[in-house]
Chain A
């Protein structure tokens, strides 16, 4: 590889103008396509596809990713990959909060009865102790079930 001079080579003017014009046209396309109602999701996918196309043009041509060392493209892709992983994996949670096991709630309620009994027994015991130690007052009757 010509290590010495390769970054001095300027790219042709026509490339910049061509890519710029394409970006202008794609902006028009995305505005118009958003006016057509394809359903919320389809509109979103279409708009994002056009945006990604535009962004790729900017990155590949204006930012020279196509011509420069592939290391830069690799680093940028790692960043984008991490971002995608972040969004997708977070949505594993936010989109699936309903739970997998239907019986879970029932089971917890059943178990909760166990704790309710313990608490009531403890309260009754405490009341009994208080009544024994403090005879002058009328001991409150233990709560009936």
Chain B
């Protein structure tokens, strides 16, 4: 086995832009994804802040209705398809998965690079629609409006269609990597839980994304050739679009949240230095969520005109999702019990995740209840719920994961002081923005409204909306602080040791940053990923 000299790592060698653009190294591809995904998050955040400023007061503030429709569509589409779906798997997953398995790379490095380029092309098509008049359908592209809207729906849906391939490539690659590339001696039940979560995610990516692909293709055909299958005038059925869309997009919610849960399992075990409680149950519950998630899509369609029988079945199955999710939450809490908890920045995010995701998950159960959903459907209650899950869950976990693996990725420590300050901004800002939206929604404020003057509770709505907008600003400041100190750490951060947190998984056994071939000597599996009761890492 040839190994690179001790002063060389995957970042420093080889040099030059071309060596990055044509790299087959999963670590570099992960970083290239990270850059694009942060840009996408910034763009989506810009749209979000614009929306919040518009809604700060009743009446039109600074954008007209059409612009507003385009902004919330772009916010949703950019955040969902360009940011959150690829976020954790393509960045941290790409970086950590082979390291955690003790492998030299993912199973198909070329396919991995291809997925990055496909992402770039898909993003180009999606954003091209902004130049050509944007899209005003909402990120869900519901027919029949999307087939009639004169905005550039085709460009955006085609972009999303292409992005789907990128997602499939990543998922397929990871499934094969996990099956075939584990270090000698590592069995399925000795894999870190991050790997289990990524595995469940990848399975969904492979199984669900093709259905979105064919749906969007048919939508494009409907718009170009008028094939009529979504058009009631021609004997078609627009509700079928919703079925097809949500057959992908509900499981896609788990593409977003399962990797978040995967990160939390790592953070909680490592930063409380305790063997994870209920390893197998956490692992199985990821797979259970992935599979159950395929059977509940109709809970988005209770008021669409879908049959009552369907609605009842979907509502019933939806409640079952609470079981594996609850199992995870309780196992994490039990892991914390009597652990040596260090309140590092990653751990703060992990604890925030437990609170915020529990709120998001429980309100999801409310919305899955058939009768209640009729009242809350398309109100800000739904907006608050999915932001608690997507942002309070996935984004918070992503932030925790970034801080956790930052020393490993770049070999530098970030400022723990600024990390905690920023965490306070994020946590407070997030709750200020979204908690009152639960109230707003249950009081009857519909989502996607440009102007709420003239509604019968305008004064009340204005108070909630105004507060929410201030919260969004606090949140924005939090993200700016994070970006500043993370980037600053690259230049003046102190060098990270190989294992700053005392982790027991393989990635902490190699140098920080790792050499191009990941491990200078082939790693041999000696102890479980969370055997804090048996092994003590050298430096804690």
Contacts and interface: CB of A to CB of B under 8 A. Distances in A.
Please tell me whether chains A and B touch each other in their complex, using a CB distance cut-off of 8 A. yes
A86 B310 contact: no
Given A89-B313, A93-B307, A96-B307, 4 more contacts: A94-B240, A95-B307, A100-B308, A101-B308
B372 interface: no
A79 B207 contact: yes
Contacts of A98: 307
A114 interface: no
Nearest to A97: B307
Contacts of A45: none
Interface residues of B, number: 19
Contacts of B307: 92-99
A95 B308 CA distance: 11
10 closest A-B pairs by beta carbon, nearest first, are A93-B310, A96-B307, A96-B309, A92-B310, A93-B306, A93-B307, A100-B308, A97-B307, A90-B243, A82-B207
Interface string B227-244: 000000000010110010
B327 to A, nearest CB: 22
A95 B243 CA distance: 14
A85 interface: yes
Contact of B239 (A71, A92, A93, A95): A93
Contacts of B310: 89, 92-93, 96
Interface of B: 179, 207, 211, 237, 239-240, 243, 247, 294-295, 298, 301, 305-310, 313
A92 B207 contact: no
Nearest to B208: A82
A129 to B, nearest CB: 16
A78 interface: yes
A97 B313 CA distance: 14
Interface string A58-99: 000000000000010000001100100110011011111111
A85 B237 contact: no
Given A92-B313, A96-B307, A97-B307, A86 B239 contact: no
A100 B308 CA distance: 7
A118 to B, nearest CB: 11
Contacts of B211: 86
B58 to A, nearest CB: 20
A121 to B, nearest CB: 14
Interface string A97-110: 11111000000000
11 contacts: A78-B207, A79-B207, A89-B298, A90-B243, A90-B247, A92-B313, A93-B306, A94-B237, A96-B307, A97-B306, A97-B307
B308 to A, nearest CB: 5
B298 A93 contact: yes
A86 to B, nearest CB: 6
B427 to A, nearest CB: 38
A131 B294 CA distance: 60
Contact of A92 (B247, B294, B309): B309
Interface string A36-57: 0000000000000000000000
Nearest to B179: A71
Q: Interface SS of chain A: helix, strand, loop or mixed? A: helix
A93 B294 contact: no
Contacts of B247: 86, 90
Contacts of B237: 94
A74 B247 CA distance: 22
Given A78-B207, A90-B243, A94-B237, A85 B294 contact: yes
A88 B207 CA distance: 17
B335 to A, nearest CB: 31
Q: Interface centre among A89, A93, A99, A100, by most B CB within 10 Å?
A: A93
B294 A82 contact: yes
Contact of B295 (A85, A94, A101): A85
Nearest to B243: A90
Contacts of A71: 179
B178 to A, nearest CB: 12
A107 to B, nearest CB: 13
B309 A89 contact: no
A14 B310 CA distance: 50
Contacts of A101: 308
B295 A99 contact: no
A99 B239 CA distance: 16
Contacts of A96: 307-310
Contacts of A90: 240, 243, 247
Nearest to B242: A93
Nearest to B175: A75
A23 B501 CA distance: 61
Given A82-B294, A86-B247, A93-B239, A100 B313 contact: no
Interface in A111-127: none
Contacts of A85: 294-295
A101 B313 CA distance: 16
Nearest to A101: B308
Contacts of A94: 237, 240, 307
A127 B482 CA distance: 58
A93 B246 CA distance: 14
B519 to A, nearest CB: 24
A78 B179 CA distance: 16
A95 B239 CA distance: 13
Contacts of B207: 78-79, 82
B308 A99 contact: yes
Contacts of B301: 93
Nearest to B301: A93
A23 to B, nearest CB: 27
B168 to A, nearest CB: 13
A103 to B, nearest CB: 13
Contacts of A93: 239, 243, 298, 301, 306-307, 309-310
A46 B179 CA distance: 39
B176 to A, nearest CB: 11
Nearest to B251: A82
A29 to B, nearest CB: 31
A85 B310 CA distance: 13
B384 to A, nearest CB: 28
Nearest to A93: B310
A82 B293 CA distance: 11
Contacts of A95: 307
B243 A100 contact: no
